[in-house]
Chain A
Amino acid sequence: MREGPPILAARRLGRGLLNAAAGLSLAFILTPLVFVSWLAFFRQEVPSFPPEGYTLRWFANILGERAFVSGFLLSLEVGVAATALGLALGVPASLCLARFRFPGREAINTLLLLPLVVPGVVLGTSIYLSHIELEIDTGWSLTGSLAGLVIGHVLLVIPWSVRLVTASFVGLDQALEEAAQNLGANPWITFWRVTLPAIRPGIVAAGLFGFVASFGNLEMSLFLVGPGRTTLPIAILQYLEWKIDPTIAAVSVIQILFIAAALVMTDRYVKLARVV
Chain B
Amino acid sequence: MARLELEGLSKHYGAVVAVEEVTLDVADGEFLVLLGPSGCGKTTTLRMIAGFVQPTAGSIRLGERAVTHLPPWKRSAGLVFQSYALFPHLTVEENVAFGLEMRKLPRADIAARVAEALKLVRLERFGARLPRQLSGGQQQRVALARAIAIRPDVLLLDEPLSNLDAKLRVEVRVEIRKLQKSLGLTTVMVTHDQEEALTMADRLAVMSEGSVRQVGTQRDLYERPADRFVAGFVGRSTFLAGRVEAGGRFRTTCGLLLRCADGFSAGAEGVLALRPERMALSASPLQNADNSLPGTVEFVSYLGALLDLHVRLSPDDLVIVQMPNRADGAAVPGIGDRVHVGWAAGDGRVFLDEGPVVAETAGPRYNDGKHGKGRLP
Contacts and interface: CB of A to CB of B under 8 A. Distances in A.
Contacts of A179: 79, 81, 85-87, 146
A47 interface: no
B150 A175 contact: no
A178 B73 contact: no
Contacts of A175: 81-83, 85
Contact of B102 (A189, A197, A198): A189
Given A176-B85, A176-B87, A198-B89, A182 B79 contact: yes
A135 interface: no
A180 B81 contact: no
B337 to A, nearest CB: 39
| Residue picked from B50, B82, B99, B146, most chain A C-beta under 10 Å | B99
B295 interface: no
A200 to B, nearest CB: 8
Interface in A171-213: 173, 175-176, 178-186, 189, 193-194, 197-198, 200
A179 B78 CA distance: 9
B53 to A, nearest CB: 11
B299 interface: no
B89 A181 contact: no
| Residue picked from A173, A181, A189, most chain B C-beta under 10 Å | A181
A184 B83 contact: no
B73 A186 contact: yes
Contacts of B79: 178-179, 182
A183 B98 contact: yes
Interface of A: prevailing SS:
helix
A185 B102 contact: yes
A256 B336 CA distance: 80
A173 B85 contact: yes
| Residue picked from A176, A182, A198, most chain B C-beta under 10 Å | A182
B77 interface: yes
Contacts of A178: 50, 52, 72, 79, 81, 85
A181 B72 contact: yes
| Residue picked from B50, B81, B83, B85, most chain A C-beta under 10 Å | B85
A197 B88 CA distance: 9
Nearest to B76: A184
A178 B80 CA distance: 11
A106 B50 CA distance: 33
A138 B299 CA distance: 90
B144 to A, nearest CB: 13
Contacts of A180: 87, 98
B73 A185 contact: yes
B88 A198 contact: yes
Given A173-B83, A175-B81, A189-B102, A182 B89 contact: no
Contacts of A182: 50-51, 72-73, 77-79, 147
A201 to B, nearest CB: 10
A179 B150 CA distance: 13
B247 interface: no
A184 B99 contact: yes
Contacts of A173: 83, 85
* Closest 7 A/B residue pairs (Cβ): A184-B102, A183-B99, A175-B85, A179-B85, A181-B72, A197-B89, A182-B79
22 contacts: A173-B85, A175-B81, A175-B83, A178-B50, A179-B81, A179-B146, A181-B51, A182-B51, A182-B72, A182-B73, A182-B77, A182-B79, A183-B98, A183-B146, A184-B150, A185-B102, A189-B102, A197-B87, A197-B89, A198-B88, A198-B89, A200-B89
